[in-house]
Amino acid sequence: MKVSIIGSTGYTGMELVRLLSKHPKVELKILTSRSFAGEDISDIYPNLRGKVDTKCEKLDLNKLAASSDFVYTALPHGVSMEVVPELVDRGLKVIDLSGDYRYNNLKTYEDWYKPHQSPSLLEKAVYGLPELNRSKIKASGLVANPGCYPTASILALAPLVANNLINKDNIIIDAKSGTSGAGRKLSLGNHFCEVNNNFKAYKVANHRHTSEIEEKLTLVGGEDITLSFTPHLLPINRGILATIYANLEENLDTAKILEYYEDYYKKEAFIRVMEEGILPEIKNVAGSNYCDIGLKVDERTGRIIVISAIDNLIKGSAGQAIHNLNIMAGWDESLGLEDLSLYL
């Protein structure tokens, strides 16, 4: 399959290039970049040298459409909607990695982002979380790749919500991400001296991913969910660890709830449910497309504590986007995603 990437020089775009370069059924065609047009991608990211030395180009929709079967749009929120409608009109299959097509509800998107330029496509786009929407992804021509925090949070909570095991009015998500989650664009808050030897919360009570998590869990549970989500910045390059608290609806122990998780994810290649007494760690998933989930019941408070870990750039972004490509193309879902964690 001939695949092109619009916005190839951000961290997500780079991970797409790196992973797709070793995909056995993909031929990388066009890599676009506003900032680095005319430069080899391997000069921007030397780790690609000798493997992908493609020259980045300015976006030319006619050329891209003529040479591609499939397009990734790895663009900032609000920018993707400027190009996605035309790509869809030209018959290309698209996976968008921005937030522009993740929402079913137009008002929710516009409350948290900005006015939408192509709201009719929200009805056609499928939310690209394979573990929840596999059949819809397979039949879709436009897939909205989930956010990284929502991926870690929704996967951790879906079995509880789907089986009505928790009170849905007081869910708390406490999540931490490596600095690559903020992207490659320079900002004071991401400078080395600001991040190193530091740990902080940010966008408390107003992070955009709150609305994404709420909307998708509402669909899983069949009733409105409002929750608290607080993100934190870790002084590491990549990885997300989410610790989630919820009150149980009935008196169940850890072993019993693990049975629900194992049954819910029994066919999922990239979900690893930890045995009782074992909890996820970022180092065990960094560099891989896995989501590790562990949990424990606090019998004293009647509360369940669920912990999930992913690599924000892979399972939370580029890897999940390739998983979606594999589903849409009818290929083995693990193609190009077989790598285990780097650990060290």
| β-bridge mates for residue 235, sequence order | none
Side by side, which strands form the sheet with 70-73? Answer: 27-32, 2-6, 70-73, 93-96, 142-144, 126-127
DSSP for 99-164, please give it: STT--S-HHHHHHHS---S-GGGGTT-EE--HHHHHHHHHH-SEEEPPPHHHHHHHHHHHHHHHTT
The answer to whether the beta carbons of residues 264 and 289 sit under 8 Å apart is: no
Which contiguous run of DSSP H or E holds residue 254? Answer: helix 254-264
User: What is the number of alpha carbons within 13 Å of residue 122 lying toward its C-beta?
Assistant: 16
Which contiguous run of DSSP H or E holds residue 240? Answer: strand 240-247
The CA–CA distances, whole Å, from 80 to 74, 134, 190 equal 8, 23, 24
193 is catalytic: no
User: What is the number of alpha carbons within 13 Å of residue 172 lying toward its C-beta?
Assistant: 9
Q: Cα(first)–Cα(last) distance of the chain, in Å?
A: 34
Q: Which amino acid is at 64?
A: L
Catalytic-role residue among 56, 148, 193, 291: 148
| 270 token code pair | 């990239």
Q: How far apart are CA 24 and CA 342, in angstroms?
A: 22
Catalytic residues: 148
